[in-house]
């Protein structure tokens, strides 16, 4: 899948103006293409998702034992593990989007090839995102001993806002990364723009997305869990196309 070029001029947005109306047809077409591809390429998708989960194990273990780890150590390890995982996340997104346009590929070989292609940008993105999450957590959890009650409430609220906005930006970051050939700055600016440009839409979509993921994990057969990350990619690609 060829990346689309994005203008770096400062006169207008790098990504086309978002669509005001909910494009239900686009959602149906993208998800229909994705699920039809599952039947034709199930084991290939299962392979790249399984590889992703293997690389994600350190991060999952870190989150599981978070309460036993000092905050600074947690932040450093979280950033390091996220840096390792991000290129492979970008790879799964890129291969999933390739499937929606019926592009043939070698799943195992392309998994590592695309991870190498997106390595630099995805690592920088992971560092920035980890820094935002760490800032939000710090403001929420660690401002109380340092502030008056009113000041503590203020900084805790700011922390919640920072965490929430950073979480909402995840709807777009990897979709923009693999679809467009542009700078880290433009990826972040467009993710922020798309998040704030239609904030209510993004909150609703984030809730819907989380609900779909829970339903998918607990109510579908065990085989479908092998394409979980690819489903995330397909849904987030839909959201990005609708809103950007």
When pLDDT is cut at 50, 70 and 90, the band that residue 9 belongs to is: very low
Distance CA 118, CA 184 (A): 11
Residue 9 forms part of a structural domain: no
Contact status, residue 140 vs residue 152, Cβ threshold 8 Å: no
Residue 10 forms part of a structural domain: no
- pTM across the whole model: 0.71
Residue 150 has pLDDT above 70, yes or no: no
- pLDDT above 90 coverage of the chain, percent: 9
Question: Mutual orientation of helices 119-142 and 107-117 as an angle, nearest 10°?
Answer: 70
When pLDDT is cut at 50, 70 and 90, the band that residue 14 belongs to is: very low
Residue 15 forms part of a structural domain: no
Residue 89 forms part of a structural domain: yes
Residue 7 forms part of a structural domain: no
Residue 188 forms part of a structural domain: yes
Number of domains in the chain: 1
And the tokens for 76?
Answer: 């450093």
Domain that includes residue 238, residue range: 20-243
pLDDT at site 87: 93
Alpha-carbon separation of residue 92 from 26, 57, 97, 108 (angstroms): 21, 16, 9, 11
> Mean of the pLDDT values across residues 174-195?
87
pLDDT at site 112: 92
Q: By C-alpha distance, which of 87, 3, 99 is closest to 45?
A: 99
The DSSP annotation for 24-74 comes to HHHHHHHHHHHHHHHHHHHHHHHHHHHHHHHHHHHHHHHHHTGGGS-HHHH
Residue 213 forms part of a structural domain: yes
Residue 129 forms part of a structural domain: yes
pLDDT at site 146: 52
And the tokens for 119?
Answer: 């390595």
């Amino acid at each position: 899948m060829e990346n689309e070029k994005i203008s770096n001029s400062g006169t207008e947005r790098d990504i086309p103006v978002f669509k005001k109306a909910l494009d239900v047809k686009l959602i149906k077409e993208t998800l229909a293409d994705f699920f039809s591809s599952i039947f034709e390429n199930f084991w290939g998708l299962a392979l790249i998702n399984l590889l992703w989960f293997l690389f994600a194990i350190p991060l999952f273990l870190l989150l599981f034992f978070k309460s036993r780890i000092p905050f600074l150590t947690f932040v450093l390890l979280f950033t390091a593990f996220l840096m390792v995982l991000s290129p492979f996340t970008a790879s799964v997104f890129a291969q999933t989007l390739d499937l929606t346009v019926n592009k043939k590929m070698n799943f195992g070989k392309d998994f590592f090839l695309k991870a190498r292609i997106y390595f630099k940008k995805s690592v920088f993105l992971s560092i920035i995102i980890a820094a935002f999450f760490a800032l939000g957590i710090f403001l929420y959890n660690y401002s109380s001993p340092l502030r008056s009650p009113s000041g503590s409430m203020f900084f805790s609220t700011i922390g919640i806002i920072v965490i929430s906005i950073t979480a909402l930006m995840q709807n777009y970051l990897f979709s923009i990364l693999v679809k467009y050939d542009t700078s880290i700055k433009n990826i972040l600016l467009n993710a922020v723009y798309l998040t704030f440009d239609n904030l209510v839409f993004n909150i609703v979509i984030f809730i819907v997305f989380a609900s779909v993921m829970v339903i998918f994990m607990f109510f579908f057969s065990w085989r479908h869990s092998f394409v979980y990350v690819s489903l995330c990619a397909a849904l987030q690609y839909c959201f990005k196309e609708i809103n950007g």
